[in-house]
């Protein structure tokens, strides 16, 4: 059991150290990608734009948590489309593949930023939400895991791919990335 625990803990640090990041289609270091995300989010906040978050399951929990942290701590307008009434209404009336697409189409504007989080990077509803954000002229930051070639991993302006097939490792690293972005904004340092 101890050997499993040691290997599992090592998996978290290996995943963050091997995270693949791209900015506008070019692979960059994790720190460079984080700096780009910080800059984009700070610009959005400074110009009165908003952050919107989408995710399923554990990723939805990250989106709810982080949206509150961004507006409460950093004063940047932020909202996660995870309200139970929204999810069940849109799923029932339009189908689950549109559960994020419809609110993105309704609420997002040019210059806003969508943060799309999906462990698999293959969730149809997340991909549809990203496409809707693009059609609105919004920026997109993605976070994914599992298969390196997952569709979400190349759909954003900034993409963070965590190379692991374990939900816990992927989700914890997505949360770490979000907290690092927020903490950097609060520290007031880029570079």
Whether pTM > 0.85 for this model: the answer is yes
CA distances from 56 to 24, 42, 122 (A): 25, 26, 11
Has residue 190 got a pLDDT over 50?
A: no
Mean of pLDDT values over 175-180? 98
Q: What mean pLDDT, rounded, does the chain reach?
A: 96
Rg (CA), the chain: 16
As a whole number of angstroms, the distance between CA 136 and CA 138 comes to: 6
Mean of pLDDT values over 146-175? 97
Give domain limits for the chain.
28-187
Instruction: Note the pLDDT of residue 167.
Output: 95
CATH topology of domain 28-187: Rossmann fold (3.40.50)
Instruction: Note the pLDDT of residue 188.
Output: 77
Has residue 189 got a pLDDT over 70?
A: no
Mean of pLDDT values over 103-129? 98
Closest CA relative to residue 149, chosen from 10, 11, 17, 22: 22
């Amino acid at each position: 059991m101890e050997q499993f625990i040691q290997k599992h803990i090592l998996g978290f640090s290996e995943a963050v150290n091997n995270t693949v990041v791209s900015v506008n289609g070019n692979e960059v270091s994790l720190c460079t990608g984080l700096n780009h995300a910080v800059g984009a989010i700070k610009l959005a906040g400074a110009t009165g734009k908003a952050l919107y978050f989408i995710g399923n399951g554990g990723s939805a929990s990250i989106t709810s948590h982080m949206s509150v942290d961004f507006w409460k701590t950093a004063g940047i307008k932020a909202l996660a489309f995870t309200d139970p009434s929204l999810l069940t209404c849109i799923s029932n009336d339009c189908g689950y593949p549109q559960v994020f697409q419809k609110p993105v189409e309704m609420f997002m504007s040019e210059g806003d930023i969508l943060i799309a989080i999906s462990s698999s990077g293959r969730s149809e509803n997340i991909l549809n939400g990203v496409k809707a954000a693009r059609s609105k002229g919004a920026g997109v930051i993605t976070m994914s895991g599992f298969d390196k070639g997952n569709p979400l991993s190349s759909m954003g302006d900034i993409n963070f791919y965590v190379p692991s097939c374990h939900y816990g490792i992927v989700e914890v690293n997505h949360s770490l990335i979000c907290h690092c972005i927020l903490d950097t904004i609060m520290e007031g340092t880029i570079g």
